[in-house]
Amino acid sequence: MTASPSSVLPDCRPLLADPGDLTMVFQPIVDLAAARVVGYEALARFPGTASPEVWFAAAHETGVGPELEALALHKALAARSDLPPDTFLTVNVSPHLLGSAPVQAALRSVADLRRVVVELTEHAVVDDVPALLREVDVLRARGALIALDDAGTGYSGLQMLTTVRPQLVKLDRALVSDLDSDPARLALAEMVGDFAGRIDAWLLAEGVETAAELAALSRLGTPLAQGWLLGRPAPEFRPLAPDVVRMIRACAARARITDSVAGLVRPVRRAAAGEPVMGIPPLVLVGPDEEPLALRLADPRTAEAYTAPVSLRVPPDADVRQTLQRALTRPPAQRFDPVVCTDATGAVVGLLRVDDLATAVADRS
């Protein structure tokens, strides 16, 4: 005889009678641009080997879901006073339980909800959407921010995005996993990130476990991330390990180079203006401080050399896509002329070919 689902789930009633058995751990949330912790997610831990998901499922199965979520909220909010400066605390709540008496009591157990992010963790269809929005408005009025979990993984999640308008959008682990090698996942992550930006929300990628996933997220410009690669859940608020900081900064530096024109700059000969010009074009005519004054180019039809104005110059850290756009909006006569790259002093570094820029943009699309 096969056991019923409820018979294999843990019994939550002893846990509610002895709240000390439920403990909290905190996983860092990292700003990928600054390589520093900006927040922590509070995660419940239970006795035995069953996962938190199993315990919460058991609580819902036996009708004590609100009480167990309220207990986890009480414990998480009690730790807020120990938060490091300039960080926030994320606490999890099922949307359909947000208005329940136990959860409301837990949220009212603190004077205000500043530095707290209330994360709505499930995307089951909410029966009373207006009621949910009223509860969300109350939380915001008390200083809380709202996060939405598992964005991009289903219709209900996308519907919640447009309805709740969260300040924090979490990219589900299912989309982050192997992001670096799966073009479909990468495209969907980029789409969710673009949407988050349009509603003035931050994208947070969760479940980052490999350096390749971190590098891909850095190239996408993802603001926030969390996962075992960056920091495992711990009973206290831990800072980033030094080797993790170095890894994040290295990924950010490589992403900046990848997105900039620096890697596309071609060397070019220089000639002082007014002196005889020798050799095959292209070359740049420069002034006394190596500043570009004009270009010597070859006509592709006749191969004859001619002098052209410097119609566009950019620094090495200029964005590839923006540089291509600027190049193609020049007057027709100069539209496909090389772009001059100059350093902070205005001196010539090299040339950028329009076809190189176009190829780079296509490769990144």
pLDDT at 1: 36
pLDDT at 75: 95
Structure tokens at 4: 């019923």
pLDDT tens, position by position, 182-231: 878 888 888 888 888 888 899 999 999 999 999 989 888 899 999 999 99
pLDDT at 6: 42
Structure tokens at 41: 């997610």
pLDDT at 3: 41
pLDDT at 157: 62
- Alpha carbons 251 and 216: distance in angstroms, whole number: 9
Q: What is the pTM of this model?
A: 0.71
pLDDT at 59: 84
Asked if 255 and 320 count as a contact pair (C-beta separation under 8 A), the reply is no
Buried/exposed 24-60: b ≥16 CB within 10 Å, e otherwise: bebbbbbebbebebbbbbbbbebeeeeeeeebbbbbb
> Could you list the pLDDT tens digit for every one of the 365 residues in the chain?
344 444 456 666 666 656 778 899 999 999 998 999 999 999 999 887 778 888 888 888 888 889 999 999 999 999 999 999 999 999 999 998 999 999 999 999 999 999 999 999 865 567 788 899 999 999 999 999 999 986 655 545 667 788 889 999 999 888 899 888 887 888 888 888 888 888 889 999 999 999 999 998 988 889 999 999 999 999 999 999 999 999 999 988 877 767 788 878 888 888 887 777 667 788 999 998 899 999 999 888 887 889 999 999 998 888 888 899 999 999 998 999 999 999 888 889 999 999 999 988 887 66
pLDDT at 227: 97
Asked if 62 and 89 count as a contact pair (C-beta separation under 8 A), the reply is no
Asked if 340 and 348 count as a contact pair (C-beta separation under 8 A), the reply is yes
Domains and CATH numbers, the chain: 5-259 (3.20.20.450), 262-364 (3.10.580.10)
pLDDT tens, position by position, 45-58: 988 777 888 888 88
* DSSP code at position 300: T
